[in-house]
Chain A
Amino acid sequence: MDFEPFIISFKLAALTAFILFCIALPLAWYLSQSKSRAKPFLEAVTALPIVLPPSVLGFYILWALSYNSPIGAFFEDTFGIKLVFSFTGLVVASCFYSLPFMVQPLQNGFESINQNMLAASYIAGKSKIQTIFQVALPNMKPAVMTAIIITFAHTVGEFGVVLMVGGSIPGETKVASVAIYEMVETMDYTSAHIYSAVMVGISFVVLLSVYIFNAHQTRRFGL
């Protein structure tokens, strides 16, 4: 039994969740506090990956990251990084694909916080950054937890975009979902069964732990 596809899947998901948290935090904060006219526009763009077929997203990312586009050429010429059919490319693609799953729970979390609490922190002389990290985030732990875990789980579960942008290079871009697809294609049903069962089991445990954590937080702090 070859576990490499799982390891790649989880490595990809963990990296994506980490990078997206850093990107989505300021974006979600801006969206939660903004009354600007640009806000609905930004929200719509952020939500696009939810509704777009993975093939559309995959096609655009492929087109943007390939050597024929300025972005792809820049990365390959300057850093020597090939963005398509590589693990790095997969991470970039996953960040686009999972963006709404990180932004929306965080935005909801920021919006659910008593705005007077934030005002009290400003009046206490604290900057926005201090307020976000010392007041806002600790009071929305369930939202943070949900954002990270759902992003992680969603990235593990992606298939279309990964296949288009990464292909299926063993040890590099062949993730679990793609591996299962190939097993079914080659009629290796035994392996497909084992792989699929492992995926179901892990996904269930991950989701269960989120819900248990959130229920515990609600009981403890009445959040």
Chain B
Amino acid sequence: MINIDITKELHGANGAMQLVFQAAIKKGEFVALSGKSGSGKTTLLRILAGLEKADGTISVEQKEWLHADKSLPPQKREIGFVFQDYALFDNMTIEQNLLYVAKDTKLANQLLEITELSSMKKRYPHALSGGQKQRVSICRALMKRPKILLLDEPLSALDPAMRTKLQNELLLLHKEFGTTTVMVSHDPSEIYRLANRVIVLQNGKIINDGSPKEILLKTQGSQKFSFEGELLDIKKVDVIYIAIVAIGQQLVEVVVSSQEAKNLQVGTNITLSTKAFSPIITQI
């Protein structure tokens, strides 16, 4: 059980704000931290890691990590941290990167096996692709068999296919090592697939906390389909208006009436919903 109750004054892009975070995380949980950039997610991870100071308390399985003025240094906290920019040791080979954390060749080989990096263990980080670097970074974080694994947008820089592959590996490792994982992520499908709890931050405060299904599914009332998107353009074609909406990575065209077209503003976020009685699902 991890009990977190902290506050910290932040000076972000939107001026000063107070980060207030209070939550109890169960052992083995996979928590996704979500929210706009500048809402304090990364800072929270860094506080958990002991890289930044904060007021309040953090206790992990009866051990005080942060209490009053006493803060356990990062060296003594049993954590693994995966940085957004990987932060691999450039002067060491992949294998040395892992062994620097713990002299456990067996574990290193096991991790490299799971992530299909065994054949590259003698290479240096600069000779790896982004996805490979990220896998090394995840392996390195697990070398200490951490109590808590902290992931700062671990997959945001990767292409969709690589993302899906690494998501599966992450889930596998999370289960295999029985760690408690806290991951910053913006990607709803990633959160849905990996996490069993989502905490949404806004301006340093928790505004939502629950299961991914409760929080991410936008369907309400009798509507069967509902999507949030950005209105990119409204075009007049003969007598009708066509709105172009970006939903996630996809663009769709929707016919709107002239009255609707007047009321809609290009560039705003909108909800697109329909009552669908028999949706057709086809595999691609």
Interface residues of A (CB under 8 A from B): 114, 116-117, 119-127, 134-135, 138-139, 221-223
Q: Are B85 and A134 in contact (CB under 8 A)?
A: no
Judged by a CB distance under 8 angstroms, whether B51 is at the interface is yes
Q: Are A117 and B89 in contact (CB under 8 A)?
A: yes
Chain A, residue nearest B137 (CB): A120
Specify which of A125, A127, A139 is in contact with B90 (CB 8 Å cutoff). Answer: A139
Judged by a CB distance under 8 angstroms, whether B75 is at the interface is yes
Judged by a CB distance under 8 angstroms, whether B101 is at the interface is yes
Q: Are A114 and B87 in contact (CB under 8 A)?
A: yes
Evaluate whether A116 and B85 lie within 8 angstroms (CB atoms) in the complex, with A122-B75, A123-B49, A127-B75 already known: yes
Judged by a CB distance under 8 angstroms, whether B225 is at the interface is no
Judged by a CB distance under 8 angstroms, whether B35 is at the interface is no
Most buried by A among B76, B85, B100, B140: B100
Q: Are A119 and B81 in contact (CB under 8 A)?
A: yes
Evaluate whether A126 and B75 lie within 8 angstroms (CB atoms) in the complex, with A119-B49, A119-B51, A120-B81 already known: yes
Q: Are A124 and B101 in contact (CB under 8 A)?
A: yes
| Shortest distance between the CB of A27 and any CB in chain B (Å) | 23
Q: Which residues of A contact B126 (CB under 8 A)?
A: 221-222
* Chain B positions 67-103 with a Cβ under 8 Å from a chain A Cβ: 73-77, 79-81, 83, 85, 87-91, 100-102
Q: Which residues of A contact B102 (CB under 8 A)?
A: 124
Q: SS class of chain B's interface: helix, strand, loop or mixed? A: loop
A149 and B100 alpha carbons, distance in the complex (Å): 30
A188 and B255 alpha carbons, distance in the complex (Å): 97
Q: Are A123 and B81 in contact (CB under 8 A)?
A: yes
Specify which of A114, A116, A124, A221 is in contact with B144 (CB 8 Å cutoff). Answer: A124
A122 and B101 alpha carbons, distance in the complex (Å): 10
Q: Which residues of B contact A114 (CB under 8 A)?
A: 85, 87
Q: Which residues of A contact B80 (CB under 8 A)?
A: 123
The 7 closest A-B pairs by CB, nearest first: A116-B87, A138-B91, A124-B101, A122-B74, A116-B83, A117-B87, A120-B87
Chain B, residue nearest A117 (CB): B87
A116 and B89 alpha carbons, distance in the complex (Å): 10
A123 and B151 alpha carbons, distance in the complex (Å): 13
Q: Which residues of A contact B77 (CB under 8 A)?
A: 123
Chain B, residue nearest A118 (CB): B87
Q: Are B144 and A139 in contact (CB under 8 A)?
A: no
Query: What are 15 A-B interface contacts by the 8 Å CB criterion?
Result: A116-B85, A116-B87, A117-B88, A119-B51, A120-B140, A122-B51, A123-B49, A123-B51, A123-B79, A125-B76, A125-B144, A139-B89, A139-B90, A221-B126, A222-B126
Specify which of A122, A135, A221 is in contact with B73 (CB 8 Å cutoff). Answer: A122
A193 and B88 alpha carbons, distance in the complex (Å): 53
Q: Which residues of A contact B79 (CB under 8 A)?
A: 123
Q: Are B91 and A120 in contact (CB under 8 A)?
A: no
Q: Which residues of A contact B87 (CB under 8 A)?
A: 114, 116-117, 119-120
For the complex with contacts A119-B74, A123-B79, 5 further pairs of A-B residues with Cβ separation under 8 Å are A116-B85, A119-B49, A123-B74, A126-B75, A135-B91
A135 and B100 alpha carbons, distance in the complex (Å): 10
A124 and B83 alpha carbons, distance in the complex (Å): 13
Q: Are A125 and B101 in contact (CB under 8 A)?
A: yes
Q: Which residues of A contact B75 (CB under 8 A)?
A: 122-123, 125-127
Q: Which residues of B contact A139 (CB under 8 A)?
A: 89-91
Q: Are B89 and A121 in contact (CB under 8 A)?
A: yes
Q: Are B100 and A124 in contact (CB under 8 A)?
A: yes
A147 and B181 alpha carbons, distance in the complex (Å): 43
A117 and B77 alpha carbons, distance in the complex (Å): 17
Q: Which residues of B contact A223 (CB under 8 A)?
A: 90
| Shortest distance between the CB of A92 and any CB in chain B (Å) | 35
Q: Are A120 and B83 in contact (CB under 8 A)?
A: yes
